[in-house]
Amino acid sequence: MIRRALLSVYDKTGLVEFAHGLTDLGCELIASGGTARALSAAGLPVTQVDQVTGFPEILGGRVKTLHPAVHGGILARRTPAHLAELASHGIAPIDLVVCNLYPFAATVARPGVTEPEAVEEIDIGGVTLLRAAAKNFESVAVVCDPADYDAVLREVKAKVEAEVEPLNLNLNLNLDLNLNRRLALKAFRHTATYDAAIATWLAGRGAEEQGSGGAREHDLPQQIILAAERVQALRYGENPHQAAALYRWVGAAPAFEQLQGKELSYNNLVDLEAAWAMPGEFAEPAVAIIKHTNPSGLASAASLVEAYRLAFDCDPVSAYGSIIAVNREADLALVQEIGSLFVEVLAAPAYTPDALAWLAAHKKNCRVMVARSNDFSRSGAHETTEVVTTSGLVLRSVAGGLLAQTPDDRGVDESTWQVVTQRQPTEAERRSLAFAWLATKHVKSNAIVFVQGTATVGVGAGQMNRVDSVYLAARRAGDRSRGSVAGSDAFIPFPDSIEAAAVAGVTAIIQPGGSLRDAEAIAAADRLGLAMIFTGERHFRH
């Protein structure tokens, strides 16, 4: 049974009630620092840790529980040899450890926190207590979450009421062993999460060991330590037979807040991530309309309403059941323009009160999301089916491990552009080509986009060859392809794609270049009177 418990907690939620319950069941309480003061103030009998160790707290409380009189009592197996050794040193066993840790993640998340302030929130004694008790789960219960207090009290009470005396010293009558295992697992997860938060913070302070390769390797750590907590259970995954949940990096703030609408699904969240990255590429008001992580329409204009109309016109059929993201405050004019269109999710950095009132009255099921931050930095662009860690790496799971890369955060740098054709693009074409180049970043490869002004008029996504993407974009655009420009996320390997674009009415093309057949592509563009720019970089999105 639980005869002796050590309590040392930062989060004192439910502490006094739990300690009262233990005392009522005949348990002796040992506590340190602020925990001991809180219990004493509640009128509970408590033994200070320094009375157990015979040694005072030192270094301003940095060292309290790190002593054989504490850890011997926790780590001893309930065998004759171990118990005899404890007795020879005047140490009594400790059957229950209740501990949670300093709020390191919350501290480093505060704006302006200094390095010394963060370092002081690195818990040492608490982590050691948890690991010691969890290691000896056959004999010791460990509680790191106040949510488990009631279950532990029920189990202790059941043992007391059974009035069973141990027949030998090897018999464990503390708590149910399966419960102890679950509590130990929770404790190890708690300390692993805590250590991951510290490691991530230190890496962010420039403490990461660098590799021996080139500069690009130096952007990647030698190890990736991940810690995420489940924040929302989802109805199912991509399909109903798949279980799913939303996890958030420990210490990270929520990216969005849901203001109204139905519960978010797994697919909603994947599409929302893709949608949110697109308008942030543009300084002017911009609207992205997303289906299955690809834009069915993307446009920027003088106002959100105008941008929405242009994006919608790119593919009105696919806009049904879409995700819409905008990079300005959503106002009444915008939501009324969206009107009766079925929209799964609407995301914006903010909403006017009359826009929210209209949405509540006319689109109750639409999931209305507001971003926690108005930062549309390109460095925040996310990869669909991938995750971005708190250290900025983009990760994707593979069999047996992870792939990691730095984000594709390149914008438009016209100083690197090379006009490779006889005809120079006009200023209007250059503006549209810049828009097309940004749009290709967000279309699954092989990606081709047709653009008029600063709006997509045709999108060809995810095809197995590039010329099929051209045909698809041209079919989507119809007559609007006449006088449009085209963007390609990777080099165009054969003249057939250029020829198909020219037949559709494209007048200028932007692409990375770098194919062994670049000369053939340039010759085809010259023969057809097209202007073509090489950027020297690509934007694959798999």
Q: How far apart are CA 154 and CA 482, in angstroms?
A: 75
Query: Active-site residue among 135, 159, 186, 262?
Result: 135
What is the distance, to the nearest Å, from the Cα of residue 134 to the centroid of all Cα atoms in its chain? 29
- Residue found under tokens 């199912």: 236
What is the distance, to the nearest Å, from the Cα of residue 303 to the centroid of all Cα atoms in its chain? 31
Residues in the chain, how many? Answer: 542
**Contact at 8 Å (CB) between 234 and 246?**
yes
Q: How far apart are CA 159 and CA 247, in angstroms?
A: 37
Nearest to 30 by CA among 10, 16, 57, 51: 51
Q: How far apart are CA 267 and CA 164, in angstroms?
A: 54
Structure tokens at 179: 């419960």
- Residue found under tokens 């439910």: 14
- Residue found under tokens 């930095």: 377
Structure tokens at 408: 């594709």
Active site residue 135: yes
Using alpha carbons, list the distances in angstroms from residue 154 to 145, 150, 151, 182, 286: 16, 6, 5, 15, 57
- Neighbouring CB atoms inside 10 A of 127's CB total 19
Using alpha carbons, list the distances in angstroms from residue 512 to 324, 425, 491: 29, 16, 5
Q: How far apart are CA 109 and CA 69, in angstroms?
A: 36
State the number of CA atoms in the 13 A half-sphere of 494 facing the CB: 8
Helices of type H across 230-282: 266-277
Nearest to 201 by CA among 82, 115, 91: 115
- Neighbouring CB atoms inside 10 A of 481's CB total 22
The DSSP annotation for 450-505 comes to EEETTEEEEEE-S-SSHHHHHHHHHHHHGGGGTT-EEEESS---SHHHHHHHHHHT
Sheet holding 322-326, edge to edge: 256-260, 367-371, 343-348, 322-326, 286-291, 294-300, 455-460, 448-452, 485-488, 508-511, 531-534, 418-419
Q: How far apart are CA 208 and CA 58, in angstroms?
A: 32
- Residue found under tokens 């919608």: 312
- Reduce the secondary structure of 11-63 to three states and give it as a string: CCCCHHHHHHHHHHCCCEEEECHHHHHHHHHCCCCCEEHHHHHCCCCEHHHCE
**Contact at 8 Å (CB) between 521 and 515?**
yes
Q: How far apart are CA 56 and CA 53, in angstroms?
A: 8
Catalytic residue positions, numbered = 135, 292
